[in-house]
Structure 1
Amino acid sequence: MSQEAVDERPLRCLVTGATGYVGGRLVPELLAKGHAVRCLARSPGKLRDHSWAGRAEVVRGDVTDEDSVRAAMEGVDVAYYLVHALGTGSGFEETDRRAARAFGECARAAGIRRIVYLGGLTPAGVPERELSPHLRSRAEVGRILLESGVPTAVLRAAVIIGSGSASFEMLRYLTERLPLMVTPGWVRTRTQPIAIRDVLRLLVGCARLPFEVNRTFDIGGPDVLTYQDMMQRYAAVAGLPKRVIVGVPVLTPGLSSLWVGLITPVPGAIARPLVESLRHEVVCAERDIERYVPSPPDGLLGLDQALRLALKRIREADVATRRPSAAAPGAPSDPLPTDPEWAGGSLYTDHRERAVGASPEALWRVVEGIGGENGWYSLPLAWALRGWLDTLMGGVGMRRGRRDAARLRVGDHLDFWRVEEIEPQRLLRLRAEMRLPGQAWLEMTVDRSPAGGTVYRQHALFHPHGLAGHAYWWSVFPFHAVVFGGMARNIAAKAEATNPAGAG
């Protein structure tokens, strides 16, 4: 088949690693270009909540299982290799080596026209044996695929900026939680970060590279800076005070990974190899990819713009689960259902649930009538004090009350809250407008239990902003049982008092 014929028709793409950070974001980008997509996943069920789940074929398999790889490659034009064994233990290099060889052999036998692999940017002039195990394995996988006999494009990236990227999450947590840092020498190592949007654009573009292209490409954004610089830029974009960073030469990569593990929720098995890699300067030695996949008219995203996209507020419509709706695909920087629990920053929650001996309609009347003259059903003095403190700090306090004594609508003010979402007879979500070192929501839902009774669920959520946000949450946490526990208990009691028999 001619190159022109391939270019004119949609391609059939196999994506491995679709449950991972990059793969899960690549699939909708390929679909948007009109390509057919098949995903190879060890746990296909993990992909069912993605917005694209009904438009892509999902097959069960593993890159270490040649039979499943061979079957998944039938009828495929382009195979994306987006998996690695990082975090699986000390033997990950051998696992990566074996999987890459099997993948290349199966691709050649299946007549795959191109392999596209996303690896790690390696420092120029450093022998492969001197690289960290993580970078060394990435480089070896790229070499194996290039030697497979199938035209291969190996994209080599340093830090990828986007919510959910392990490197970015390390940056996020370290910067937000530590206004003063005693850091190892690697924070002064230069790197060239790239936005996830640009990574995906290049991955999609590589599907149509000329057949004769079989090589590596360095990819990076327009900014070259140190990890320390990135932390300061993150702080500025996030609205945090400038960080005080003191470098010391005595922290080894092993000690550094323990330090990162203590401060951040990124698992140590992932953090350690990433930290070890940070001792190498990783800056693009060439930009040849531009000849084949030109940059967009507005250019590559700079670090500040990429950070702003990655730091977009958690979607209000999905704040209770921290997972975006499957019906609402978002931008590449948005969270995905398959992102790990530690991705996306901290979100503290207080959950209460009670069976209520009243009809759902009676319970909803109490929920919709909350606030204003009706109060908040727990410790009136505490709520009044919180409102007074907010007023003292320049906030709205409790003086706004509510527009209507019985009915609420989206956008209504409700004391120092704002109605963000309302589903009549079922859900009320409020967003705090008081002065807080973070963002807060209060969500109340009315549901029927499987046995036919009524259930009241209440979520208080807080997304902290910097160390002050974390300190605030833990300072008020001891009072939650009284304030939020009392609220749930008294709302249920009020509904039962007005509808003791549970009649509608």
Structure 2
Amino acid sequence: MTRTALVTGATGYIGGRLVPELLDAGWNVRVLVRTPRKLRDRPWADRIEVVEGDVGDTDAVRAALEGTDAAYYLVHSLDTGRRFERRDRALARSFARAARAAHAKRLVYLGGLYPDVDELSPHLDSRKEVEEILLDSGVPTAVLRAAVIIGSGSASFEMLRYLTERLPVMITPRWVDNRIQPIAVRDVLRYLVGAADLPDDVSRGFDIGGPDVLTYRQMMQQYAEVAGLSRRTIRPVPVLSPNLSSHWVGVITPVPSSIARPLVESLVHEVVCKEHDIARYVPDPPGGLVGFTRAVSLALAKVQAYDVATRWSSASAPGAPSDPLPSDPDWAGGSLYVDERCSPVNASREALWSVIESIGGQNGWYSWPLGWWARGVLDRLWGGPGLRRGRRDPFDLSVGDALDWWRVEEVDDLELLRLRAEMRLPGLAWLELAVDDGPGGQVVFRQRALFAPRGLVGHLYWQLIKPFHGIVFGGMQRGIAAEAERVQAEGRASRWRRSSNLPGTPGRPTA
């Protein structure tokens, strides 16, 4: 018999990753959201039931709970400002009333791991209060208490990422040596799915954490090692208060201050699991829980081998729970600098593509030859390939081909050429050249240069070369378009023909 789960917070970090996990586990999923259009690009959008409504609307929640076997409360108000505690309290009470009135069978709440102290930070105190409200609802409730969740898009992880990547030398507060028990997002999701099947007489909180207990200093050093960064110099001082620390984090990272401030204030506490009772109901996986360095590796995998979207809109293909999602906040997922240009071309797709596919080598790059030559010489001096490799064929490119200091990563005939840089760089770089359709059947040439910086040097490198982008990338845009128009005028695009053996399938150019 198929069971139904209600998920609140489905547009958020955990909720957006929990829904596909529940679907894969065989649940019917119903989501309660204020703005259903935010879900339309999710790959699982056509597999769920969407109910429009607010968590604070008791009647809407009660209606959404009808016929459900489990309900997930994944709502918080950190990003609403200083009075988030008041809003969290009101929403939790409203949800608890609705759940009791609808005779809900099971509630599951993801809260925060907190120590046994008299005074908690506002963030952890609010999480504890919401936990108590739901446990007192009269509905069997499972509360999962987690500390720092490791996965791309998690606010705590993004703070760790940006601080470590951007600051090789840090003056930090004393809390940098407080102990924390982080947990990988995939283990959090496994516990959330399993918590829906707890026995009816189990209504309590559970501490959940990974296998490692680390200080924040150790977490930053291990992150740096996994990310290929040099060891960070960290100097804790007693004069940095949580208030000053939150302002400091706001300057260094793009995480909004409304989120960073309560999270930083919570770092004054040591948060280590006091029990592992959840394993009695949701056993550890055969390979054990995911350790910190493995969780960081999973979170960085998408950036270290960046899956650049082949289209010019956000990709929505499902991935691992640790991967960034298009729905994550703009500040999540690490830094990616983009120089994007497009222009209409008075030429056919074949003419434009013939120029794109023959770029590099003896044909050059259609902009500032002296600049390309100088950059190639510098790359050689730094141990890179420079421009000496040229190209295998003057007209044809295949995936894996070397092209000067680039490597061909993808070729989609008449549509897209993606190149990955193999020059010496403080980061990862790609160049995309694409043929697109414009209004009225006009051909459009689109060009993107992407750079994922590594460490502070990577960020400085991008800023250093940014003034030259107009010469290099702007010149390339204009030069390729002009050459395509010359090819069209001279009829030379006829060398690029379609295969007679595969009608309608792009072939290769003939010399």
What TM-score, normalized by structure 2, do the two folds share? 0.94
**Alignment partner, residue 343 of structure 1:** 332
8 A Cα contact 2:145 2:207, kept in partner? yes
8 A Cα contact 1:419 1:429, kept in partner? yes
Which amino acid in the other structure matches residue 453 of structure 2?
P
Give the alignment partner of residue 106 of structure 2, picking from 114, 128, 133: 114
Deviations 1:275-300 (A, max 9, x none): 00100111111111111111001111
Q: Indicate yes or no: 2:256 matched with 1:264.
A: no
Give the alignment partner of residue 71 of structure 1, picking from 63, 75, 86: 63
* Distance in 2 between residues matched to 1:323 and 1:496, nearest whole Å: 27
* Distance in 2 between residues matched to 1:321 and 1:16, nearest whole Å: 31
Q: Indicate yes or no: 2:172 matched with 1:183.
A: yes
* Distance in 2 between residues matched to 1:449 and 1:104, nearest whole Å: 52
Give the alignment partner of residue 354 of structure 2, picking from 356, 365, 369: 365
**Alignment partner, residue 148 of structure 1:** 137
Further displaced range: 304-313 or 167-176:
304-313
* Distance in 1 between residues matched to 2:395 and 2:157, nearest whole Å: 46
**Alignment partner, residue 6 of structure 1:** none
* Distance in 2 between residues matched to 1:174 and 1:320, nearest whole Å: 30
**C-alpha RMSD of matched pairs (Å):** 1.6
* Distance in 1 between residues matched to 2:107 and 2:133, nearest whole Å: 11
Deviations 1:218-258 (A, max 9, x none): 01111111111100111111111110001111111111111
* Distance in 2 between residues matched to 1:321 and 1:158, nearest whole Å: 37
> What secondary structure, in the 3-state scheme, does the structure 2 residue paired with 1:476 have?
helix
1:324–1:303 distance in 2 versus 1, CA, 3 Å: farther
Further displaced range: 344-353 or 313-322:
313-322
* Distance in 1 between residues matched to 2:313 and 2:243, nearest whole Å: 33
C-alpha displacement of 1:71: 2.1
Matches within 5 A, 1:79-228: 79-124=71-116, 126-127=117-118, 130-228=119-217
* Distance in 2 between residues matched to 1:418 and 1:329, nearest whole Å: 26
* Distance in 2 between residues matched to 1:110 and 1:35, nearest whole Å: 20
C-alpha displacement of 1:490: 0.7
**Alignment partner, residue 290 of structure 1:** 279
- Percent sequence identity is 66
Give the alignment partner of residue 377 of structure 1, picking from 359, 366, 379: 366
Give the alignment partner of residue 225 of structure 2, picking from 212, 226, 236: 236
1:121–1:22 distance in 2 versus 1, CA, 3 Å: same
Deviations 1:437-466 (A, max 9, x none): 110000111111122211111100000011
8 A Cα contact 2:309 2:315, kept in partner? no
8 A Cα contact 2:310 2:416, kept in partner? no
**Any unmatched runs of 5+ in structure 1?**
1-8
> What secondary structure, in the 3-state scheme, does the structure 1 residue paired with 2:144 have?
strand
Q: Indicate yes or no: 2:48 matched with 1:59.
A: no
Q: Indicate yes or no: 2:308 matched with 1:318.
A: yes
Deviations 1:138-170 (A, max 9, x none): 100010000001000000000000010000000
C-alpha displacement of 1:11: 2.0
**Any unmatched runs of 5+ in structure 2?**
495-511
8 A Cα contact 1:14 1:38, kept in partner? yes
1:236–1:213 distance in 2 versus 1, CA, 3 Å: same
Which amino acid in the other structure matches residue 261 of structure 2?
R
* Distance in 2 between residues matched to 1:499 and 1:323, nearest whole Å: 29
**Alignment partner, residue 5 of structure 1:** none
Matches within 5 A, 1:340-489: 340-489=329-478
C-alpha displacement of 1:434: 0.8
C-alpha displacement of 1:319: 4.5
